[in-house]
Amino acid sequence: MGFGADGASSPYKTGFRAGSRDSGRSPASDWDNYTKALPLLVERMRGITIENRDGLHVTSCFDGPDTVHNLDPPYHPDTRRRGGRQHHGGVYRHEMDEAGHEQLLTHLQELEGMILLSGYRCALYDDVLIDWFRHDFQTYADGGRPRTESLWLNPAARAGTQLSLLDGVPI
């Protein structure tokens, strides 16, 4: 049980935990390992800008042929399930409805830069991103349930020579 911004209890997980069922490690031992990785993280983040503003505005401001846009929007409503039932919002502070996803995809088509878009496959994305490369991979979500996530690359990203994150995946 977590707590919302107003202090009221919420049935959704907060991201914090007291122990790990998977590894048997405590959060304290995980934090000890983070200090060893911190110098690598600092080096990796050098020169990277993280913005907490409207994504459409930010991508427009920073767009250019050498820009890499890494987008992980809220999941499309058609891909959301809870308890085996379709669920359309209300879990996260910031949600996106069908119209919001349509607006995002239209906007992305207008950008010059290399775009990496994360999410779950759905009919809207299949219909709009027909000339984008999609890589599907198995992952776990919501308490360890297996899911298939997708990463879409626009034609500029697919042609980009600096993208090595999909080493071994033919694009």
For residues 159 and 128, the answer to whether their CB atoms sit within 8 Å is: no
Give the pLDDT score at 48: 84
Question: Per-residue pLDDT for 163 more than 70?
Answer: no
For residues 69 and 116, the answer to whether their CB atoms sit within 8 Å is: yes
> Which DSSP symbol is given to 112?
-
CATH 3.40.50 fits 51-171, yes or no: yes
Give the pLDDT score at 132: 96
Write the CA distances from 112 to 32, 33, 74, 136, 160, integer angstroms.
42, 39, 23, 24, 12
* Angstrom distance (rounded) from CA 75 to CA 13: 17
pLDDT tens for each residue of 19-39: 555 556 677 777 787 888 889
The encoded tokens of residue 67 equal 């820009």
* Angstrom distance (rounded) from CA 59 to CA 51: 10
pLDDT, averaged across the chain:
80
Domains in the chain: boundaries: 17-48, 51-171
The encoded tokens of residue 85 equal 């039932």
With residue 2 as reference, give the H or E element that holds it. strand 2-3
pLDDT tens for each residue of 36-79: 888 988 998 998 878 888 989 999 999 999 999 999 999 898 88
> Which DSSP symbol is given to 7?
S
* Angstrom distance (rounded) from CA 74 to CA 120: 10
* Angstrom distance (rounded) from CA 25 to CA 91: 28
Burial-class residue 35 by CB neighbours within 10 Å (0-12, 13-18, 19+): exposed
Write the CA distances from 27 to 18, 19, 52, 59, 144, integer angstroms.
7, 6, 27, 35, 18
- Give the residue with greater pLDDT, 132 vs 162: 132
